[in-house]
Chains A and B, each alone.
Chain A
Amino acid sequence: MRPIAGKAWGVFLAGLYPLLVVAPLVIFAALNRVSDHVRVAEVGVDCAVVGLTILALQFVITARLSWVEAPFGLDVLLVFHRAMALVATALLCVHPVLVARGEGWPLLVGWHPRWYIWVGRLALALLLLHVMVSVSRRLIRLPYEKWRRLHNPMALAILILGFVHSLAAGDDMHGGAVFVWAAVMATALGFWLYSHLVRPRLLLRRPFRVIGVKAEAPRVWTLTLERRGDRPFHFVPGQFQFLRLHGAAVPPEEHPFTIASSPAGSGRIALTIKESGDFTAGIGRVRPGDRAVVHGPFGRFSHTLHPEERDLVFVAGGVGITPLMSMLRSMRDQREPRRVLLAYASRSTADVLFPDELEGMEAGGHPGLKVVHILDEGESGRLNVDRLLGLCGGVEGKAFYLCCPPPMMAALIRGLRHEGVSPSRIHADYFSL
């Protein structure tokens, strides 16, 4: 099992990021100590330098690099990416207003400015449009795949337009500053090219093969994949990967799925997938022998990262059992003596996944597992925090691992926090991010 990057590396990256964000501005100020702008316009120009630098660094944050992702988790990185996109957008919106206030409003509203002002306007308009679409994606019911196909080239276009505008309009753009600025933009472009063109081809050289397709429950399938050659696939239980299948049954798109098997599976991984969208609708028609490309693993939703926790409460909703199943299987294989209560919510008995295996684990004793099924169709009612507290007999000394639909997850987290459970003892798999 490969250890996930530790805290020190995360602290280093978190300290490095703000330094990188401000580095171009500080270098420009050191190279050109006095500018031609009045103060309000200079604030506007500096906002643009910082805003564009943040946009450039977004290409590094979202490149799914394991050395960047490992200390934080991809879920946190994506939320950070969104938050910094809003910070950059705010800075880039302030930029033209302050520059125009200092140097004349025609820069902002005139019809006949120089060409590079139009380029800047176009970049800002595209950025605003793109942020609005991204923020309201669910509201306007734009499918994730379509949005992503729009997002990747659009982000690059916005950065290039912003770069062209800054090269032509910026007073700092001479001498060494041009090289610094070009290096920032080239870095962004390099990471974009790597993550969208180079890495997919590298991954194709290390493909997996589907070796089994098993029906687990109505509309739920387990794919077993094996890596060609001798190279093992290291992951910790609870992590996920991005899967691309090259067969006729599903489109060759990349989608994230949690690994349900134990890391002790000798180069094989099992993915339990529910038919719930255009891509997954054909998952049951995937055939053994189909080629698969796996990128990962990612995520920090794993009990192995918290060895001090001995008394665990797992909450699963439907197919959300998969990361917890990986952890349980790993505990069984490692003969870990932890205690686990699994509260498993399903629609009906027929929808319960892995019933026999869970029963076997309960009898096996490693981990000390107790499974409580909560069925929508039964008399037990839905799982809420009062029910959960009743099942686990209080929160003292317990750690909670939640993987369930977002409304249930939010309600349980609120309830657990209300009961005084520390955030450090609540681990949630935000698979719908």
Chain B
Amino acid sequence: MQRFQWMGLYVVFIAAALACLIAAVAAGRAQ
């Protein structure tokens, strides 16, 4: 059961990290 809880946190972490990375990359590359 603990495995599912860790997995849920992991997905939230990935989603948040992706949002930050996409925003940062776009800000750096856009005109």
Q: Which residues of B contact A (CB under 8 A)?
A: 1-5, 7-8, 10-11, 14-15, 17-18, 21-23, 25-31
Contacts and interface: CB of A to CB of B under 8 A. Distances in A.
A76 B1 CA distance: 9
A25 B25 contact: yes
Contacts of B11: 80, 83-84, 87
5 contacts: A34-B29, A38-B30, A46-B25, A72-B7, A84-B14
A123 B24 CA distance: 27
Contacts of B31: 34-39
A432 interface: no
Contacts of A91: 18
A33 B29 contact: yes
Interface of A: 14, 17-18, 21-22, 25-26, 29, 32-39, 41-43, 45-47, 50, 72-73, 76, 79-80, 83-84, 87, 91, 300, 413, 422-424, 426-428
A410 to B, nearest CB: 11
Contacts, number: 84
A21 B18 CA distance: 9
Given A14-B10, A22-B21, A80-B11, A39 B2 contact: no
A50 B1 contact: no
Given A36-B31, A37-B31, A38-B31, A73 B3 contact: yes
B26 A43 contact: yes
Contacts of A14: 10
B17 to A, nearest CB: 6
A87 B18 contact: yes
Contacts of A18: 14, 17-18
Give the residue among B10, B27, B28, B29 with the most A Cβ atoms within 10 A. B29
B10 A22 contact: no
Give the residue among B15, B26, B28, B31 with the most A Cβ atoms within 10 A. B26
A348 B31 CA distance: 72
A55 to B, nearest CB: 14
Given A25-B21, A50-B18, A76-B7, A42 B1 contact: no
Contacts of A300: 3
Contacts of A50: 18, 21-22
A29 B14 contact: no
Given A87-B14, A300-B3, A35 B22 contact: no
A309 B20 CA distance: 41
B27 A39 contact: yes
A94 to B, nearest CB: 9
Given A76-B7, A80-B11, A87-B11, A427 B30 contact: no
A79 B4 contact: yes
A21 B16 CA distance: 13
Contacts of A21: 14, 18
B26 to A, nearest CB: 4
A47 B27 contact: no
Contacts of B8: 83
A423 B26 contact: no
A42 B28 CA distance: 10
A426 B28 contact: no
List the 9 closest pairs (A to B, CB-CB), nearest first: A39-B30, A42-B30, A42-B26, A423-B2, A43-B26, A35-B29, A46-B22, A426-B1, A83-B11
Given A22-B18, A25-B22, A32 B29 contact: yes
Give the residue among B4, B7, B27, B30 with the most A Cβ atoms within 10 A. B30
Contacts of A73: 3
B22 to A, nearest CB: 5
Given A26-B25, A29-B28, A39-B27, A76 B14 contact: no
A29 B3 contact: no
A72 to B, nearest CB: 7
Contacts of A34: 29, 31
A42 B29 contact: yes
Contacts of B18: 18, 21-22, 50, 87, 91
